[in-house]
């Protein structure tokens, strides 16, 4: 009798074809000898059970392409064999049971404790005056959502909050109501004399300047910080960067070779040097950004990390209930527009060659403005959504093809929190503790990027592992418990117990 090895060699083409074809399975099974069936069962079982251990020693590119396809097909074939024969297998097929180790599911359940706000962080609650462009628009941007949750943590710890902003929106009343506690809001257009006056009158212990995006705003704040440090020596100045803008525009210049981008980068750098050198504490959102600032601006003193805030979905839609690819962004920012263009021009057609029915959906604030720009087969511009994270749970894959940028990309956090597997460029992954092939796929090559997208779309094993591991990463690094601990460190000085000196007259 011919052995299993010889049978497999002769039947290889026929077996592999049948593995991918549901309608031909009934023709294949009767023709396979018993020894071949037993051999295939053993191989498929071993690959399914020990996949994680095997892949720790294999290059990550084996997750996609022909090898990844074969492993996935073997797994499906194993289920069909056990369903047909019933020999040696009694369990029902459930992707969660097969592809996710029990310790990962248990770890995910334990993360619920990380989402309880600690209201005993600060011994003596200080008065903090926040200065920002808008009220915290928690439903618009990751930066505003982070600020909204920082304020909630401080309010839960009995801090007195003053909040000054200069730009209005139609939803300001609802944004004010969303924050409950000892907080006073003041709308004040940008004027150096008015800002100096109101800050002197309120005599806060901390002045927290945040959401520093536009060049006009950062120039204004650089001038204000220099004036306040001279007039109000007791005031503790906190600069909350959100992004290292010099680095963002320098990278843009390296990508576009447009001299205007280099000019803008240097303009940001001059103002960032003034701000960071004047600050008692500079707050960044990642260790990478901290290192970048330290290596560029020598006068920056104390730099602390207060990450973005993200809330995970503990239970979410499985692989079989999701469809299509999406990207999320604030399309008032040019880097998000360029990311979508880059994806459509260099990557999406490679994905369609293998998945012709898949659609690419563009979500986010102001994305409707680019409906004609992004117009292409299988592309839909969805626009802004009220419940973004809920919408994300309907997608099978999230892409972040950022060609340039700086700081952490909130969109990556949103997708990971919703359990959507991610394929991103290395720039998109910056600031997140992710590894290629563990929590997501990372690639800067269009061909490899497309291959990894196709693997996530086709392979439930990879998909479910990314979905669980990325949510664990978010809970362990960006929950209220973690953010609160960082805030306590920033406000841990004894300044609240010292007498506050009045600001000197102008």
| pLDDT tens-digit readout, 155-183 | 988 899 999 999 999 999 999 999 877 79
Name the band, by pLDDT with cuts 50, 70 and 90, for residue 260.
very high
- Report whether pLDDT(113) > 80: no
Give the strand order in the sheet containing 302-305.
Answer: 183-187, 160-165, 127-132, 206-209, 236-240, 281-284, 302-305
* 331 and 274 co-located in one domain: no
pLDDT on residue 157: 87
Is residue 464, in this structure, part of any structural domain at all?
yes
Based on the fold, state whether residues 299 and 365 are members of the same structural domain: no
What mean pLDDT comes out for the span 143-161?
A: 90
At residue 385, the pLDDT reads 84
Co-location of 446 and 490 in the same domain: no
CB 311 within 8 A of CB 417: yes
**Domain extent for 427:** 319-478
- The model's confidence at residue 46, banded by pLDDT at 50, 70 and 90, is low
354 and 464 in a single domain? The answer is yes
Q: How far apart are CA 63 and CA 104, in angstroms?
A: 20
For the cut 90, the answer to whether the pLDDT of residue 190 exceeds it is yes
Q: Let me know whether 459 and 343 are in one domain.
A: yes
- pLDDT of 73 above 70: no
CA–CA distance from 190 to each of 131, 136, 165, 206 (Å)?
11, 18, 9, 20
Confidence class for position 367, pLDDT limits 50, 70, 90: very high
Are residues 12 and 67 located together in one domain of the fold? yes
Q: Is residue 108 part of a domain?
A: no
Residues 474 and 493 in one domain: no
| Residue % of the chain over a pLDDT of 90 | 46
User: Which residues contact residue 171 at a Cβ distance below 8 angstroms, ignoring those fewer than 6 apart?
Assistant: 137
Contact between 240 and 129 under an 8 Å Cβ cutoff? The reply is no
Asked if 204 and 503 touch (Cβ cutoff 8 Å), the reply is no
Other residues' Cβ atoms within 10 Å of the Cβ of residue 366: 16
**All residues at 6 or more sequence positions from 253 whose CB lies less than 8 Å from its CB, including other chains:** 259, 261, 262, 265
Q: How does the average pLDDT of the chain come out, rounded?
A: 81
Of residues 175 and 88, more confidence is placed in 175
pLDDT top residue among 105 and 92: 105
What pLDDT does residue 299 have? 84
Rounded CA separation 313/109 (Å): 11
Identify which has the larger pLDDT, 432 or 311: 432
Same domain, 58 and 199: no
Q: Give which of 178, 130, 149, 132 is closest to 482, Cα–Cα.
A: 149
Long-range contacts (CB closer than 8 Å, 24 or more residues apart) made by 384-393: 386/139, 388/139, 388/328, 388/363, 388/414, 389/311, 389/313, 389/414, 389/417, 389/418, 390/418, 391/363, 392/326, 392/328, 392/418, 392/420, 393/313, 393/316, 393/317, 393/322, 393/418, 393/419, 393/420
The CATH number of the domain holding residue 250 is 3.40.50.2000
pLDDT at res. 80: 52
- Exposed, middle or buried: residue 348 (CB in 10 Å: 0-12, 13-18, 19+)? buried
Residue 324 phi/psi, 5-degree rounding, is 70, 175
In this predicted structure, what is the pLDDT of residue 447?
Answer: 95
Distance CA 212, CA 242 (A): 7
Range with the lowest mean pLDDT among 54-58, 134-138, 288-292, 346-350? 54-58
**Structural contact between residues 198 and 164, judged by C-beta atoms closer than 8 angstroms:** yes
The answer to whether position 444 is within a domain reads yes
Question: How confident is the model over 85-98, as a mean pLDDT?
Answer: 42
Q: How many C-beta atoms lie closer than 10 Å to residue 370's C-beta?
A: 16
Q: So what's the pLDDT on residue 484?
A: 87
Taking residues 258-276, what's their average pLDDT? 93
Which own/partner pairs from 154-157 qualify as long-range (CB within 8 Å, at least 24 positions apart)? 154/128, 154/487, 155/179, 155/180, 155/181, 155/182, 155/183, 156/117, 156/118, 156/119, 156/181, 157/118, 157/119, 157/120, 157/121, 157/122, 157/125
282 and 373 share a domain?
no
The number of distinct structural domains making up the chain is 3
412 pLDDT above the threshold of 60: yes
Please give the residue that has the higher pLDDT: either 392 or 108.
392
């Amino acid at each position: 009798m011919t052995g299993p090895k010889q049978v497999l060699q002769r039947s290889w083409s026929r077996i592999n074809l049948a593995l991918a074809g549901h309608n031909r399975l009934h023709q294949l099974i009767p023709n396979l000898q018993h020894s071949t069936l037993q051999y295939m069962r053993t191989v498929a079982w071993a690959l399914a059970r020990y996949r994680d251990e095997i892949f720790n020693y294999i290059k990550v590119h084996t997750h996609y392409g022909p090898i990844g396809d074969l492993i996935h097909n073997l797994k499906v074939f194993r289920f069909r064999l056990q369903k047909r024969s019933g020999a040696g297998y009694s369990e029902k097929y459930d992707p969660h049971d097969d592809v996710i180790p029990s310790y990962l599911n248990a770890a995910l359940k334990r993360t619920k404790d990380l989402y309880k706000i600690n209201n005993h962080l600060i011994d003596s609650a200080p008065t903090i005056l926040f200065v920002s462009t808008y009220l915290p628009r928690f439903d618009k941007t990751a930066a505003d959502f982070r600020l909204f949750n920082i304020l909630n943590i401080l309010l839960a710890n009995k801090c007195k909050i003053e909040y000054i902003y200069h730009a209005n929106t139609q939803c300001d009343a609802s944004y004010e109501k969303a924050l409950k506690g000892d907080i006073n809001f003041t709308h004040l257009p940008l004027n150096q004399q008015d800002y100096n006056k109101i800050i002197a009158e309120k005599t806060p212990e901390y002045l927290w300047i945040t959401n520093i995006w536009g060049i006009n705003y950062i120039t204004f704040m650089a001038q204000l910080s220099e004036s306040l440090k001279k007039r109000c020596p007791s005031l503790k100045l906190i600069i909350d960067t959100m992004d290292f803008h010099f680095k963002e525009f320098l990278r843009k210049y390296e990508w576009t070779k447009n001299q205007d981008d280099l000019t803008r980068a240097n303009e940001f750098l001059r103002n960032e040097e003034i701000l960071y050198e004047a600050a008692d504490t500079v707050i960044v959102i990642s260790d990478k950004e901290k290192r970048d600032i330290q290596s560029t601006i020598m006068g920056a003193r104390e730099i602390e990390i207060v990450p973005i805030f993200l809330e995970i979905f503990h239970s979410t839609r499985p692989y079989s209930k999701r469809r299509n690819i999406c990207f999320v962004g604030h399309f008032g920012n040019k880097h998000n527009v360029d990311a979508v263009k880059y994806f459509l021009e260099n990557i999406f057609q490679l994905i369609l060659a293998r998945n012709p029915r898949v659609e690419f959906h563009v979500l986010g604030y102001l994305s409707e403005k680019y409906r004609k720009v992004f117009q292409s087969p299988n592309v839909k511009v969805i626009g802004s959504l009220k419940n973004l994270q809920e919408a994300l749970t309907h997608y099978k894959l999230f892409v972040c093809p950022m060609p340039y940028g700086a700081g952490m990309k909130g969109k990556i956090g949103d997708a990971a929190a919703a359990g959507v597997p991610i394929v991103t460029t290395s720039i998109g992954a910056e600031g997140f503790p992710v590894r290629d092939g563990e929590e997501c796929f990372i690639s800067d090559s269009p061909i490899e990027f497309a291959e990894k997208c196709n693997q996530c779309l086709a392979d439930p094993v990879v998909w479910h592992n990314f979905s669980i591991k990325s949510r664990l990463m978010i809970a362990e690094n960006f929950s209220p418990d973690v953010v609160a601990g960082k805030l306590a460190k920033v406000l841990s000085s004894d300044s609240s117990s010292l007498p506050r000196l009045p600001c000197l007259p102008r």
